[in-house]
Amino acid sequence: MNNNENATLKTRIDYIRHLCGPRQGMQEYFEAAALAQTVIYDTVGGSHPLMPALKDALEKADWERAVAMSRSVIKLFEGGGLTSPRLTIAHEIEGDILEIAQSQVQAAEADGEADQKAVHLAISSFLDGAALEDALRRLCEANGIAHDTQRASISKLQSVLFQPAKQIEVISSSENKQITAWGDTRNKSDHGKFSDITYAEVISMTIGIRAFIDKHLP
């Protein structure tokens, strides 16, 4: 977590502490618990044990419990307990994969032979897809959304992250369409359709997936 992110979280934590004060009422306690949920989500993810406890307290209007859980979030933050080495490592690995994908795009641009250019682009799109797949899996875990861990393809993961009928829209409609396009490009490399992969779609895919990860999984 960089200094700017830490400062932003600390501002939220200080406000939660204020909202949990003895002279506050139910509205302030509700706001404290809601903000505490955002702190959990932005640090260790929605699957943390405190998240369902906060949600249950809010749904039952159990303000004493909501305040207690909010104060627990404050204590965890102050004690350095709201960090996830596993998520940090995963983010770094995805970044490394995208760096290699980027280098393959650059190699394709420099290579004069059409066949070799196609291979470079296929490798890049395959790596981009791997990074995206891992990010979508982490996004499911961060939001506590169940998914098939044995068959976690890009299409299956995006289908559980975007379910308007169930009021689940972790990703937007436009992002869902973009992920479908990225998945189609990745499938071309999986199925050996190297000649169908264009430089423009791969460079757009590499840049777009990096931006998507930075937006949803900082």
The mean per-residue pLDDT over the stretch 95-115 comes to 88
Residue 182: pLDDT over 70 = yes
Q: Report the sign of the C-alpha dihedral through residues 1, 134, 136, 79, in that order.
A: negative
pLDDT for res 15: 93
State residue 162 phi and psi, 5-degree precision: -130, 95
pLDDT for res 5: 56
Mean pLDDT of the chain: 87
The mean per-residue pLDDT over the stretch 4-18 comes to 80
For residue 141, which of 152, 128, 130, 129 has the smallest C-alpha distance?
152
pLDDT for res 93: 79
pTM above 0.85, yes or no: no
Looking at per-residue pLDDT, the higher value among 55 and 4 belongs to 55
- As annotated, the residues of the chain forming the CATH 1.20.120 domain(s) are 85-216
The mean per-residue pLDDT over the stretch 37-48 comes to 80
Please report, rounded to a whole number, the percentage of residues in the chain having pLDDT higher than 70.
92
Please report, rounded to a whole number, the percentage of residues in the chain having pLDDT higher than 90.
50
pLDDT for res 175: 96
Looking at per-residue pLDDT, the higher value among 156 and 217 belongs to 156
Residue 4: pLDDT over 70 = no
The architecture in CATH of the region 85-216 reads: Up-down Bundle (1.20)
